[in-house]
Amino acid sequence: MPRERGFDPTALHTDLDVGNKNIKYVLAGEGAGTIFAINELTGDIHAMKRLDREEKAEYTLTAQVINADTDEPLEPPSEFIIKVQDINDNSPQFIEGPYHASIPEMSAVGTPVTRVTATDADDPVYGNSAKLVYSILEGQPYFSVDPNSATIKIALPGMDREMREEYLVVIQAKDMGGHMGGLSGTTTVTVMLTDINDNPPKFSKSLYEFVIPEDLLVGKMGGKVETNDRDIGENAKSIYNIIEGDDHGVFEIITDTQSQEGILRLKKPLDYEDKRTYILKVEATNIRTEPGINPPFKDTATVKIVVEDSDEPPVFSKPMYLLEVNENAPINTVIGTVTARDPDSFGSLVRYFIDRHTDLERQFNINVNDGKITLAKPLDRETDVWHNITVTATELNLKNHSQISRAIVAIRVMDINDNAPEFADEYQAVLCENGKPGQVIQTVSAVDKDDPIQGHYFDYRLVPEMLNNPNFTIKNNQDNTISVLAKHDTFRRQKQETYFLPIIVTDNGNP
């Protein structure tokens, strides 16, 4: 069995070779004449080239003894196998390297990181040429490697990503069981520490101060706070809350999903004259918690809010006024008064005006100084019962002319008895000659343009000279109507064709 890359001979021998000089040995088969040669006289076989077991581990050949003169075979051919014996001529190789692995920061000692694999082309069956032992050349004291399984493990407790994120580990595989003279190969493993939530958020300042104008609209931003978190990704996200100082729910704080800032917004209007300073305590809390870490991570800061006075428009005592005036009221009668005040701390004087777009007939006037509304023209309830006008209030010496307040003034014209009742129709009744006494020949009603509070009550009567009328009489129906009745049944058309019955109707008003 020749050793690979060696030249040790092997020999064949026949029983015919007993001093017989007339025989010779011949060789055939794999590599005969190219890789192996045979001494025709002695039968010794030599390798003609360096052998490599990793290329071909064995060769099958045949040998035969023939007559040296006639080349006739003296024996049948014999088959034999030459096996190439392994030597340690291949170093271990990490085919899949270089490697990349990741492990959560703060992992416990002994936690597996990854496993590497080396191969050796030498014969694993023969000797220790392919027996590999692994060791770590670089990466200590942070990592270790199992010499047999090549499993890389955490070797140092408390490895913190925020201190160092990436490590380069160099692993060596040595054959011959790691003994002297063995061949070796190396590979690199890049180990990345992945983040866990092991750091709380920290406000960039312990005290924030914002000045917010009192006329800031609800929903608008009044300021921003921010936190820093040494963690990354989801572990660095926080939510914000107001935990003190906002008993009436004037503010809210939300998280900007892009910048992770806390946005302070108004939930209710501010009023400088009511409260000028707010001291809030806000809290930032990590959204994600980590098993084994004391959750939740949080931090607090103080937010001081100073409300800045704004030039506000006057404020009416009511958003709408309801006034009443009699329709016969004389010109310049005071109908009522509207009042407004300047809510600002300096309290400017207020001036009043009527929006003439709402009083095109200029029916009313207002005192610019005290807000008294007076009658400018006579009123007629039967023409207009209601007058709706708009009154504006503005500050004296107002710089910002947009700061104007408005109030609706609804003026109801109260009825007086200035209209006489009228009959609903010009009545013409028809009476049959053979009508019966007491027969109703007509129902009479009246209308009145006035509208007394207690309602109408009409009084009907015959004119004085008709009180003793022999032909007709009237009857009150108790519903503001009367019935005209015939007194007898002796009416004859030939005697008299037409009768006139004068009736007076009176309302119950004053006058």
Instruction: Write out the two tokens for 279.
Output: 């001291």
Q: Which residues of the chain have pLDDT under 70?
A: 1-21, 54, 85-88, 123, 125-127, 292-296, 345-347, 397-402, 453-454
Distance, CA of 443 to chain centre: 77
Q: What angle do CA 322, 324, 326 make, to 5 degrees?
A: 165
Beta-strand runs (E) in 14-77: 23-29, 36-38, 44-47, 58-67
Count the neighbouring beta carbons within 10 Å of the beta carbon of residue 325.
Answer: 21
Beta-strand runs (E) in 155-250: 166-174, 184-194, 202-203, 207-213, 221-225, 227-228, 238-244
Q: What angle do CA 499, 503, 505 make, to 5 degrees?
A: 160
- Spell out the CATH class of 422-506: mainly beta
Does the domain made of 99-194 have the CATH classification 1.10.10.10? Answer: no
Q: What is the reported pLDDT for 474?
A: 87
Alpha carbon distances (Å) from 191 to 188, 223, 232, 243, 372: 10, 42, 18, 42, 86
| Bridging pattern class, strands 99-104 and 184-194 | parallel
Cα 364 from Cα 410, distance rounded (Å): 12
Q: Tens digit of pLDDT for each residue in 18-70?
A: 566 688 888 888 878 788 888 877 778 888 777 777 677 788 888 888 888 78
Cα 115 from Cα 140, distance rounded (Å): 17
133: nearest Cα among 180, 96, 169, 191 = 180
Q: For the chain, what is the radius of gyration of the CA atoms?
A: 61
From the number of C-beta atoms within 10 Å of its C-beta (0-12, 13-18, 19+), residue 471 rates as middle
- Spell out the CATH class of 10-83: mainly beta
CB of 321 within 8 A of CB of 338? yes
- Spell out the CATH class of 315-414: mainly beta
For residue 2, the SS3 value is coil
Residue 174: DSSP 8-state: E
CB of 452 within 8 A of CB of 458? no
Q: What is the reported pLDDT for 17?
A: 62
Instruction: Write out the two tokens for 40.
Output: 């025709």
Ranges in the chain annotated CATH 2.60.40.60:
10-83, 99-194, 202-308, 315-414, 422-506
- Tell whether pTM > 0.75: no
Q: What is the reported pLDDT for 87?
A: 66
Specify the CATH number of the domain 202-308. 2.60.40.60
Cα 449 from Cα 506, distance rounded (Å): 13
